């Protein structure tokens, strides 16, 4: 497995990380816990050193899973987690708003440390920017946690370029995590140039378009009632049908490279910048191995030009999220 550094930070991780959310939350019924522990350990065996979780995934159960699975590998892996959502009082899945007050950040850190079974959180992201708390206060709270040795590095998720700059001036930001793939290219306009200038790494989540870019879905795909894709405008039958052109494009390049559409989607992301580390999620070993295979695929400048030319003619249909959640991004 190749390694990459997240920006100018000295944080070196595997070129491909592993998003853990779906192992206990969001994509239908939760898989068997022991199977997921085996999968996480199989990822380490195959060279993956970067794992992504959050307090809100479950809530709590995903951090507990990751903590238990990776306990034998302390010091050899990097675990990122997140704060910032206001959880439901009854502890049921989901959230009731945002809460990044400094006292809440410190409270979340203590809980995450216990669940992850670590002495310090490797990378602590603000999950969504809270409009009610100045970003300087958020950065200051994480800075205090870093000074106390409870957190090692600070990150933001789905933040706007101007917010990143303000946070970075208080506490250097190691990485930004936002959705980025061939069907979600918003970060290219302002965020990526800002990160290049400031020396901050970029961690694309949903790099396979929540499964769509694997080529395993079409307008007839049905989702379990507990699968959050049921609520996403981009996953209506009409949008899936309209966006099929993007998968067809990946399929063409995949045939040329003797690869899969998913591998081309990931290889495309890796080819954008040397400080980009995608975190595809999966609950299946064969998919994990397929994703890892993307790291070895070299897309030539001609390949990238062909993808860019064809993709520029495809208008992606459907919003990423329902309006209330979409409003939480890009602040």
List the end-to-end C-alpha distance of the chain, in Å, as a whole number. 35
Q: Are 164 and 127 in contact (CB under 8 A)?
A: no
Closest CA to 277 of 5, 15, 8: 15
- Are the beta carbons of 278 and 203 closer than 8 angstroms? yes
Taking the C-alpha atoms of residue 320 and residue 313, their distance in angstroms, rounded to an integer, is 19
Active site residues: 57
Residue 274 inside a domain? The answer is yes
**186 located within any domain:** yes
Residue 145 near residue 118 (C-beta atoms within 8 A): no
Query: Which of 166, 207, 156, 151 is closest to 184 using CA atoms?
Result: 207
Please classify residue 39 by burial: count the beta carbons closer than 10 Å to its beta carbon, then call 0-12 exposed, 13-18 middle and 19+ buried. buried
pLDDT score for 28: 79
- Tell me the pLDDT of the chain (331 aa) as tens digits: 999 999 999 899 999 999 999 999 888 788 999 999 999 999 999 999 999 999 999 999 999 999 999 999 999 999 999 999 999 999 999 999 999 999 999 999 999 999 999 999 999 999 999 999 999 999 999 999 999 999 999 999 999 999 999 999 999 999 999 999 999 999 999 999 999 999 999 999 999 999 999 999 999 999 998 899 999 999 999 999 999 999 999 999 999 999 999 999 999 999 999 999 999 999 999 999 999 999 999 999 999 999 999 999 999 999 999 999 999 999 9
User: String of b and e for 109-122 (b: at least 16 CB within 10 Å)?
Assistant: beebbebbebebbb
As for how many domains the chain has, the answer is: 1
- What confidence score (pLDDT) does residue 78 get? 98
What are phi and psi for residue 140, nearest 5 degrees?
A: -65, -40
Would you say residue 234 lies in a domain? no
Residue 100 lies in a domain: yes
Distance CA 265, CA 209 (A): 9
227 within a domain of the structure (yes/no): no
Q: Token digits for 258?
A: 């003797």
Range of the domain at 194: 3-208+270-296
Q: Tell me the CATH number at 178.
A: 3.20.20.100
22 inside domain: yes
Is the full-model pTM beyond 0.95?
Answer: yes
Is 329 inside a domain boundary?
no
Inter-CA distances, 203 with 142, 147, 195, 200, 309, Å: 19, 24, 11, 10, 25
Q: How far apart are CA 52 and CA 20, in angstroms?
A: 6
Question: How, if at all, do strands 95-98 and 85-87 pair?
Answer: antiparallel
Evaluate whether residue 311 is within a structural domain: no
């Amino acid at each position: 497995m190749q390694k990459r550094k997240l920006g100018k930070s000295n944080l070196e991780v595997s070129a491909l990380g592993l998003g853990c959310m779906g192992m206990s939350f969001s994509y239908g019924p939760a898989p068997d816990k022991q199977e997921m522990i085996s999968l996480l350990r199989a990822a380490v065996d195959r060279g993956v050193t970067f794992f992504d979780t959050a307090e809100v995934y479950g809530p709590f159960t995903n951090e507990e899973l990751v903590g238990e699975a990776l306990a034998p590998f302390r010091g050899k892996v990097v675990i990122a987690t997140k704060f910032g959502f206001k959880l439901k009082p009854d502890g049921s899945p989901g959230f009731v708003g945002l809460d990044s007050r400094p006292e809440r950040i410190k409270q979340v850190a203590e809980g995450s440390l216990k669940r992850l079974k670590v002495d310090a959180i490797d990378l602590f992201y603000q999950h969504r920017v809270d409009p009610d708390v100045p970003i300087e206060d958020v950065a200051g709270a994480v800075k205090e946690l870093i000074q106390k040795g409870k957190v090692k590095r600070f990150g933001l998720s789905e933040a706007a370029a101007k917010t990143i700059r303000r946070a970075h001036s208080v506490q250097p930001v190691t990485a930004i995590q936002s959705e980025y793939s061939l069907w979600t290219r918003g970060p290219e306009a302002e965020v990526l140039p800002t990160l290049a200038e400031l020396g901050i790494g970029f961690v694309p989540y949903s790099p396979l378009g929540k499964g769509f870019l694997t080529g395993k879905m079409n307008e007839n795909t049905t989702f379990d009632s507990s699968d959050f894709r049921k609520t996403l405008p981009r996953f209506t039958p009409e949008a899936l049908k309209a966006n099929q052109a993007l998968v067809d494009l990946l399929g063409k390049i995949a045939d040329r490279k003797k690869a899969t559409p998913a591998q081309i989607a990931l290889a495309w992301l890796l080819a954008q910048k040397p400080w980009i580390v995608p975190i595809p999620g999966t609950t299946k070993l064969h998919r994990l191995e397929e994703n890892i295979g993307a790291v070895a695929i070299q897309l030539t400048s001609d390949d990238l030009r062909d993808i860019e030319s064809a993709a520029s003619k495809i208008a992606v249909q459907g919003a990423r999220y329902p309006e209330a959640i979409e409003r939480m991004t890009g602040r």
